[in-house]
Structure 1
Amino acid sequence: MQKFFQLQTLQARINGMDCPSCAKTIQSNLEQLTGVNEVKVNFGSAQLSVSYDSQGITQKDIFHRVESLGYQIQSVMTQGEMTQTEINQVTKQTASSQTNSQLPQKSKPQKSSIWQFWLTTRRGQRVILSGLGLVLGLVAHSLGLSVWVERAFYGLGMVVVGFPIARAGWFALLSQEADMNLLMTISATGACILGDWLEGAMVVFLFSLGTTLQTFTFGRTRNAIQDLMDLTPSVATVKRDGEENTVPIVNIEVGEIITVRPGQRIPLDGIVVSGISAIDQAPITGESIPVDKGPEETVFAGTFNQTGYLEIKTTRQANETTMARIIHLVESAQGSRAKTQKWVDKFASVYTPAVIIVAALIAFIPPLLFAQSLQTWIYRALVLLVIACPCALVISTPVSIVSAIGAATRKGVLFKGGMSLEAAGKMNILAFDKTGTLTEGLPKVIDIYSLEQSNSNSIVNNPVLNHSVLNIAASLEQNSEHPLAKAILSEAKVKKLILQQPQDFIAIPGKGIQGKLNLKTSCSCHHDSNPVTYLVGNRRLFSELSPQVESKLKEIAQLGQTPILVGTKQNLLGIIALADGLRLESREAVRLLKETGLKEIVMLTGDIEPVAREMAQQVEISQYKAELLPEDKLTQVKQLQERGMVGMVGDGINDAPALASANVSFAIGRTDIALETADVVLVSDDLRRLAYAVTLSRQTVSVMQQNIVFSLVTKGLFLLLGSFGVVGLAVAVLADTGSSLLVTLNGMRLFKV
């Protein structure tokens, strides 16, 4: 009989994972369950993803296995549309607070203090009870009570925290993995067998104390994702059939109208239909200053509506918003491995079995060959088993990566993973694409040149005449969708010009436009109130021009600017020069990058040499290459790689080959292309964040190296001391958990960068 599979995906957050070996233990155990198709455990973000056959196994079975290993399911993440029951639950929980919020306020997720953690969590309470048992055992010993009373207290202290450790160690043994739980179980049990119950109790207490502290501190770095998730409301107010309804955001379609009141967060990406408000975009861009938004402007899910009532037409569904994509990328990034981490994992896979073999040899060779005390050498072997745990070494890299990625995300810089961080930290050459990177990528009015009508050969800089020329051009262009027309209209808006509707408007293909206007102007070309026919367009629209004008047009072209001519059928009135404008922050961004100590900064562009030279001078970049095709940029990047590690900054449109070829690629903005193509995305659309990204990356590489060296030196020292019996089990456990905690705290420093 044919069996039909019903594959489902379960996603959940797991509490209690202290190091990557915990993730491996969970994964290997779940993979053994019948009905489980695929398991992914992301240690960095503490997330579990299981693909399973719902006819062969249930979610409850999966949760039971995870909890049997000593871990807790913190939360389950739902996907897809909600059921009606879920809709009712969510609506009851959140609709009231969502609609009653009147004042602008930012709410951050509540984080428990260290004392709350110890007193309210099951894990913290167990450690306290274990410590109490240890103290009572010491008191019983000092009072000279029976050894059985003393051992009863020590045993109580061991069982309280030792049972979860032993259970996890047993499953690790079944999975043929020598994880820290198994090694600690063997060490504590061995100490008790040898009669040293105090040592056994101290082993499990110190180990539990250290790993619990580590869980608490590392959990703080993981909160970056949870903070982002908490920013997006789970419900929104939707206008349907003339009525407002509170609906879960997962059930809202693209094109629907949602309303957002002051003091609420915007639930979905969209375009403002009506209303004006100041929007705090810090969660997306890292900008500290609110941005004014009005009709036809884009807003993003998770941003904070401060002042006005908005009606927004949604442009993306809940799982496709910019915030959702950033969360997904951050989750993936926190679980990714840097090259250094791959080396560490490979080393640890050899180190632990090697130390276990050495411990076995130390336990039996001296007693067998040299008639030494079996108990003494078994005890030393147990010390080595404790030191065999590579926890500090294995966690040294991921804690640094998770902290750095969390810090960068808050500043509007999105790293795609550990490899991107490491590559950016080792980069010493940075190449810029010009268009859309150093420049805004949109044309803007650079200059206006007027002609004195008493002398048509004389080009003057007369503000009144310049305004008149701009007014004529903008009035004729106001119904055009051409990028150059939009640039002219934008400049007219800045100058607060009052435009007129043209009469007898005609588009002249390949040349420009003409129309009649009745302008009150000081331009000497007309003095009566009769409409005058004006022309706006390129050089071909005007038959004869003076040598001085022709020279000015040539000069404008050499600067990479586009000239738009404005005049009547009889006279040329002026020239509007347009070009892709320099970003306001480009020069400062280059200066900040130079301060980081980069060896070379290069600009690559397809523009002609004079334009490239002018742009390079403006931003103070000494090296540039002009008149490059996309494949030429690729060649230039490969040539630069002969001199070092190369980063490429672009927009992902005409520089995709060069971005792909660079050791690390940077893209600007929140576009789909930027999020998909680059290793590092400056979500804030601010070039100055590049210097921050470079600085953070270098500090991350430095911290990873510090952690690795410290872990290796500590392990080597205590292996030596343990072999000669200088240190006991308690000191070995303290050294192991202490070093793990220290590298965790050192890595967490990056969260403050």
Structure 2
Amino acid sequence: MEEYKVKGLTCANCTRELQEEINRLPSGETATLNYNSGKLRIANTVDMEKVTKILSSDGAYIETDQFEQDHQHEHTHHHSKVNWLTILSISTIFYFAAFFAENWLNEYVAIALFLAATVLSGYQTFIKGLKNLVKLKFNIETLMTIALIGALSIGEWKEGALVAILFGLNEYLEGLGMEKARRSVESLLKVAPKEATILENGEEHLVPIKSLKVNQIVLVRAGEKVPSDGVIIEGNSSVNESAITGESLPIEKSVNEPVFGGSINNEGLLKVKLTKAYNDSSLAKILHLVEEAQETKTPTELFINKFAKYYTPLIMVISAMVMIIPPLLFNGSWGDWFYQGLAVLIVGCPCALVLSSPIAIVSGITKNARNGILIKGGVFLEQLGKITTIAFDKTGTLTKGEPHVEELIAYDPAFLQIAASIEKSSSHPIAKAIINEARNIPLIELDEITAYSGTGIVAKGNGTTYYLGNEKQIQHLALPDNVQIDLQRLKDAGMTVVLLANESTVLGMMGIADKIREESAAIIKKLHGLGISKTVMLTGDHEKTAEKVAKKIGLSTYFAGLLPEEKVKKISELSQKGKVAMIGDGINDAPALATADLGIAMGKGTDSAIETSDIVLMQDHLGRLPSAIKTAKKVNSIIKINITLALGLKLIALLLTIPGLLTLWIAILSDMGATILVTLISLTVLYEKKTNDKLQA
């Protein structure tokens, strides 16, 4: 399959019709033309000259050097916005000049000016409509052509001209709105640098980023973008990762720390060893997902597109009935009802209805991508706005996944010093927590350290044997009542208990716990405020730990001691009561993420997170989640409002035929008004006031 960028697609309904024509070409049945992204995907065996001809029939063209040179004459006039706006402006001047001529000069001069305004602003529509009539293809251009011919044939010069001008303006505004949404995506895609400076044999070479390979060394100067994922091997600097994570604050980076492609080096010179070729980098995957997301259709869009196919023919039938039935059965005037029927034809334009969804969806996907939230398609954005239950993994999601000493009980002043000295060479997470707790205490040297699996460590120093670990490690001692009470209290609080004893007595104990994220409680509170009725924690941890975390951050409920397959079962049970989203790290929770109505992964650009889920939070926290849900709900509300407006204004226009009050200009204004309102309302998603979504508890 080949992929082309198509410019000049001004109408979602027209784009669908163009695709259908291309599908009828030999080998063209699999071709797709997407209005949201402006992309054509087509088999390389299809005759592209014929494709170009089909596109040019609606004023669209393929944006490549070759096609622009070969077919420049076909689209230069069509797609210069300045030219099109100029045409509409001149047509409007002619229209008002005709009013002056009608009152002060000559009726025929006025008619000539009305005709000039009609031809100037409507000739493209007229030509397309005539071609469609020959093919018996009934779309908006066909309807407008019939309406214009009918209006002029009965001497409605003024209204014919006004209809042509307003329809032209409507088409212009419709294309402008979608182009604005597309540009917001394109500006997002420009974060990728085009070239990189590689270092080979001590010499610098400027190369395209697509040629970069793993293990190459690249130089990134102050103000430049990191070309692909890698590790710093020389230099230190603050790096802006907003293109990846949506976080605006820079992060300090030094040797051996990872950097993402697309992040900006704020100061100094960095030497980066690439760990991924550009096409495999986090940035490339993000940009690919954002582009793909525009092209998926939601159930609402699919329904609207299907409805639009039948809407226009239905309107034509209604128009014919309006023209014929009143004069035949109720002695109405043929001229008056013919005019009413022409107006009904104009109401048959489905453009505002078809436009009610795509601009809002593209805007919502783009806004979330700017905030470091990747939504893999409009269908998932729509789902996010309907979620009623969110299930969370505990470790690394609601907690930091980093054990820390939550409570320390020392029966001997040297307790912490000895415990940290025993653990100083260990890389175990609990050992790191103990060492971190004793970071300001000088450590001592021990003669002999032996680790025992499942119990702990035995160490010797200064003629004394020390036992560090769980209860099994100190079975040689009878624990005093006060020690037993402290031990049970820490266990009841859901902590992992580490004890230190010598041969005769317990020196102290520590309660180790996974640190709850500072923002978790505030996030859960805000989610409840957004209409999420149930927040659930699913964890493999034991009951006491789960209870403590759930209570502290305000979750609705929790389920502890779950294996991966048991998490899947719980998700299935929750799904029977409403729409469920599952949030995890994208690795251990893959089955649950796949089972939920919506899988949301955290993971700052990890491959597994991007590949497993429907939505990816590129940060290492949940701070942006409420914003994403708020945007999704807003998009869903806007689509409902848009559909109501598009159909409501047309219904009002059709009802005006009953008392015979519908006019051509009211009909076109009903469609134009709907289009303008739908476009402007949809674009408000992009311009929503920015807030700091990383909440603090």
Short-chain TM bin: 0.7 to 0.9
2: CA distance, partners of 1:422 / 1:76:
37
Out of 38, 46, 54, which is 2:38 matched to?
A: 46
- Tell me which residue corresponds to 2:694: none
2:654 matches 1:726: no
- In the TM superposition, residue 500 of structure 1 has moved relative to its aligned partner by 8.8
Contact in 2 for aligned 1:384/1:723 (Cα 8 Å): no
Out of 256, 270, 274, which is 2:230 matched to?
A: 270
Question: Structure 1 residues 606, 283: closer, same or farther in 2, change over 3 A?
Answer: same
Q: Number of paired residues?
A: 675
Give deviations 1:258-317, integer Å, cap 9, x for gaps: 111111222222222222111222222221211112222222222222122211122222
Secondary structure, aligned partner of 1:52 = coil
Whichever residue aligns with residue 57 of structure 2, its letter is: S
Whichever residue aligns with residue 644 of structure 1, its letter is: G
- Tell me which residue corresponds to 1:455: none
- Tell me which residue corresponds to 1:655: 589
- In the TM superposition, residue 226 of structure 1 has moved relative to its aligned partner by 0.7
Q: CA RMSD in A?
A: 3.5
2:420 matches 1:470: yes
Whichever residue aligns with residue 326 of structure 1, its letter is: I
2: CA distance, partners of 1:236 / 1:568:
60
2:388 matches 1:428: yes
- Tell me which residue corresponds to 2:59: 70
Whichever residue aligns with residue 57 of structure 1, its letter is: D
2: CA distance, partners of 1:581 / 1:424:
28
1: CA distance, partners of 2:215 / 2:383:
41
Question: Structure 1 residues 271, 159: closer, same or farther in 2, change over 3 A?
Answer: farther
2: CA distance, partners of 1:566 / 1:274:
42
2:525 matches 1:591: yes
Give deviations 1:180-237, integer Å, cap 9, x for gaps: 2232222223322333333222222111112212322332222232112111111111
Out of 2, 11, 26, which is 1:9 matched to?
A: 2
Contact in 1 for aligned 2:125/2:145 (Cα 8 Å): yes
Contact in 2 for aligned 1:25/1:177 (Cα 8 Å): no
Question: Structure 1 residues 470, 248: closer, same or farther in 2, change over 3 A?
Answer: same
- In the TM superposition, residue 396 of structure 1 has moved relative to its aligned partner by 1.3
Contact in 2 for aligned 1:11/1:77 (Cα 8 Å): no
Secondary structure, aligned partner of 2:338 = helix
2: CA distance, partners of 1:580 / 1:615:
9
Contact in 2 for aligned 1:256/1:314 (Cα 8 Å): yes
Give deviations 1:657-677, integer Å, cap 9, x for gaps: 333333333222232232233
- In the TM superposition, residue 483 of structure 1 has moved relative to its aligned partner by 4.3
TM-score normalised by the chain length of structure 2: 0.87
Contact in 1 for aligned 2:601/2:609 (Cα 8 Å): yes
TM-score normalised by the chain length of structure 1: 0.81
- Tell me which residue corresponds to 1:665: 599
2:542 matches 1:608: yes
Give deviations 1:559-607, integer Å, cap 9, x for gaps: 5544556678898765555443222211111121122233222222222
Contact in 2 for aligned 1:126/1:160 (Cα 8 Å): yes
Secondary structure, aligned partner of 1:547 = coil
2: CA distance, partners of 1:432 / 1:640:
12
Give deviations 1:449-498, integer Å, cap 9, x for gaps: 5451xxxxxxxxx5x75355325422x22xx4x44455556666xx3677
- Tell me which residue corresponds to 2:652: 717
- In the TM superposition, residue 737 of structure 1 has moved relative to its aligned partner by 1.2
Question: Structure 1 residues 601, 284: closer, same or farther in 2, change over 3 A?
Answer: same
Whichever residue aligns with residue 7 of structure 2, its letter is: I
- Equivalence map 1:98-247=2 (5 Å): 121-145=82-106, 147=108, 149-169=109-129, 177-247=137-207
Out of 516, 531, 547, which is 2:479 matched to?
A: 547
Question: Structure 1 residues 125, 503: closer, same or farther in 2, change over 3 A?
Answer: farther
- Tell me which residue corresponds to 1:746: 681
Contact in 2 for aligned 1:392/1:736 (Cα 8 Å): yes
2: CA distance, partners of 1:444 / 1:176:
75
2: CA distance, partners of 1:44 / 1:559:
53
| 235-244 or 363-372, which deviates more | 363-372
Give deviations 1:673-712, integer Å, cap 9, x for gaps: 3223323322223313222222222222222222222222
Give deviations 1:538-558, integer Å, cap 9, x for gaps: 666667345156776666555
Secondary structure, aligned partner of 1:544 = coil
- Tell me which residue corresponds to 2:337: 377
1: CA distance, partners of 2:150 / 2:557:
67
Out of 395, 402, 417, which is 2:355 matched to?
A: 395
2:14 matches 1:22: yes
Secondary structure, aligned partner of 2:518 = coil
Question: Structure 1 residues 446, 378: closer, same or farther in 2, change over 3 A?
Answer: same
- In the TM superposition, residue 24 of structure 1 has moved relative to its aligned partner by 0.4
1: CA distance, partners of 2:209 / 2:303:
43
Out of 25, 47, 57, which is 1:57 matched to?
A: 47
- In the TM superposition, residue 158 of structure 1 has moved relative to its aligned partner by 3.3
2:572 matches 1:638: yes
Question: Structure 1 residues 447, 715: closer, same or farther in 2, change over 3 A?
Answer: same
Question: Structure 1 residues 394, 448: closer, same or farther in 2, change over 3 A?
Answer: same
Question: Structure 1 residues 167, 605: closer, same or farther in 2, change over 3 A?
Answer: farther
- In the TM superposition, residue 619 of structure 1 has moved relative to its aligned partner by 0.9
| 254-263 or 320-329, which deviates more | 320-329
| 577-586 or 380-389, which deviates more | 577-586
2: CA distance, partners of 1:174 / 1:316:
56
- Tell me which residue corresponds to 1:108: none
- In the TM superposition, residue 27 of structure 1 has moved relative to its aligned partner by 1.1
| 296-305 or 535-544, which deviates more | 535-544
2: CA distance, partners of 1:606 / 1:76:
57
Whichever residue aligns with residue 623 of structure 2, its letter is: R
Percent identity, aligned pairs only, is 35
- Tell me which residue corresponds to 1:82: none
Out of 632, 635, 642, which is 1:700 matched to?
A: 635
Question: Structure 1 residues 225, 366: closer, same or farther in 2, change over 3 A?
Answer: same
Secondary structure, aligned partner of 2:213 = coil
Contact in 1 for aligned 2:477/2:505 (Cα 8 Å): no
Question: Structure 1 residues 120, 422: closer, same or farther in 2, change over 3 A?
Answer: closer
Whichever residue aligns with residue 15 of structure 1, its letter is: G
2:611 matches 1:679: no
2:270 matches 1:310: yes
Contact in 2 for aligned 1:36/1:52 (Cα 8 Å): no
Whichever residue aligns with residue 30 of structure 1, its letter is: I
- Equivalence map 1:246-265=2 (5 Å): 246-265=206-225
2: CA distance, partners of 1:664 / 1:172:
43
Secondary structure, aligned partner of 2:31 = strand
Secondary structure, aligned partner of 1:226 = helix
2: CA distance, partners of 1:61 / 1:433:
54
Question: Structure 1 residues 324, 491: closer, same or farther in 2, change over 3 A?
Answer: farther
Question: Structure 1 residues 71, 414: closer, same or farther in 2, change over 3 A?
Answer: same
2: CA distance, partners of 1:716 / 1:735:
9
Whichever residue aligns with residue 33 of structure 2, its letter is: V
- In the TM superposition, residue 654 of structure 1 has moved relative to its aligned partner by 3.4
1: CA distance, partners of 2:501 / 2:406:
19
2: CA distance, partners of 1:33 / 1:221:
31
Contact in 2 for aligned 1:285/1:683 (Cα 8 Å): yes
